[in-house]
Amino acid sequence: MSDHKSASFTKKLIYTSKTHPDDRSRMRAVANNLVLHLHPTKVPAAALRWSYTWGLGGISALLAILLGITGVLLMFRYDASVERAYTSIQFMETQVFFGSLVRSIHHWSANLLIVTVFLHLLRVFYTGGYKKGRAANWLIGIILLLLVVASNFTGYLLPWDQLAYWAVTVGTSLLSYVPGAGGSISNFLLAGPEVGQGALRNFYAIHVAVLPALLVLLMSYHFWKVRKDGGISQPAPPLTADGKRRQRVERLTTIPHLVQREFVVAVALITVLALWAMFVPAPLEELANPTHPPNPAKAAWYFLGLQELLLHMHPLAAMILPGIVLSAIVLIPYWDKEEGDIGVYFRSTIGKLMALAGAFFATALVPLLVLLDEYWIDFPALLPSWPTLVSNGLVPLLLTLAGLLGIYTSMRIVARANRSEALVGLFSFVIVGFVLLTIIGIFFRGPNMALIFPY
């Protein structure tokens, strides 16, 4: 529906509320009005299928709202000082009415948000949701993902327990390896040589003020852009019987069709989250002890893929590789110009095969390479006269990049996949590889970061 029609529809709703002055119809008109500021009056029926978006963008937005509410409640009792942070959390856990539940909901929503935003990115990629003028929103989405990770990371330190202290110590040391700005960012964040009062104060300010403000701004822009881009992506409708035109897109009114679905998802999410938070409280280990690191000292779980890479490559290479992958993900809309397959999961049958092949190769190759590097391959020993930056940095980095290029080219040449389909295969390889590295980091690394079997 055009903006003009949508405005007149909104006016009609307000007018209707004036003609029925009882409170319920007025409240309903106000609520409808609010909904129609966020959504268009009608949406394509295809976009309403659960199995298209899985509600992941909406779930992420709801989690962000829950985080805002519980975060403000936590601020009433939290004390950002090295002497009192831990005891203020203990006090909240034991003395404050519903304090433990609020903290747990905040903790689990934050972790779940990383998962839902990541899955939303996968959904958008696999349905080609960045095509037909949606490149800007793809970029905004990537910035949102980075902000969500940064919010999680800065919140990690606040309880000031052993887990927080050492995860952030490892995390900031990873950060300092980022070529160019890494050292300065890490110095700025820590406000000193190590994690201490300066770091806690900085992390707190960034966590409760800077990142939420940026998230609200960018999320608002993200939603507005979805509407501006003509709603979410969808497949082109089939051709008419004479094969000359496209059939008309079936549209349904936002109220009640979309709103009902959003309501069901919201109630289900809040119920599951509240129950989970009741039965699985947010962790709180003993007070941070800067002189006693745990063994192994691990970063937060979402950084363990990166920490795993560091075990196999020189730190500079282990930071350049994800940097190259992230830049390539940003550039996807400019590389994949195929538009006919928008809204179709995995593009086509060939695309599906490429996705399966990419995922299969990664599942076979990544654990194998980790094992080989752990027990057999030793580049610095093989190339003793070369500096380690080259033997353990440049060599594995170039080999990895050549492997990725090889996968893409063989999909294009051997499987005759088009650019978009080959990209689906390469992307699946990279994502499955990264998830596997993260799983290995979480479950299969024990004391001194040696490989172990968890059970």
| Contacts to ligand HEM by CB under 6 A | 53, 56-58, 60-61, 64, 117, 120-121, 124, 127, 129-130, 134, 137-138, 141-142, 144-145, 148, 219, 222, 226, 232-233
Question: What is the closest distance, in whole angstroms, from the C-beta atom of residue 119 to ligand HEM in the complex?
Answer: 10
Find out whether 198 and 191 touch, Cβ atoms under 8 Å. yes
- Pick from 176, 436, 216, 167: nearest CA to 318: 176
Find out whether 161 and 287 touch, Cβ atoms under 8 Å. yes
d(CA 451, CA 375): 10
Phi, psi of 44 (to 5 degrees): -60, 135
Angle of helix 211-228 versus helix 135-156 axis, rounded to 10: 160
* Chain position whose Cβ is nearest to ligand HEM: 141
Beta carbon nearer to ligand HEM, 226 or 319: 226
- Pick from 323, 332, 326, 361: nearest CA to 423: 332
Q: Spell out the residues 6+ positions from residue 375 whose beta carbon is closer than 8 angstroms to its own.
A: none
Question: What is the closest distance, in whole angstroms, from the C-beta atom of residue 381 to ligand HEM in the complex?
Answer: 41
Beta carbon nearer to ligand HEM, 124 or 164: 124
Beta carbon nearer to ligand HEM, 219 or 325: 219
Beta carbon nearer to ligand HEM, 134 or 298: 134
Find out whether 306 and 177 touch, Cβ atoms under 8 Å. no
What is the longest distance spanned by two Cα atoms in the chain? 87
* Coil vs helix vs strand at 42: strand
Beta carbon nearer to ligand HEM, 226 or 299: 226
Beta carbon nearer to ligand HEM, 215 or 432: 215
Say whether the peptide bond before residue 396 is cis (omega within 30 degrees of 0).
Answer: no
Question: What is the closest distance, in whole angstroms, from the C-beta atom of residue 58 to ligand HEM in the complex?
Answer: 5
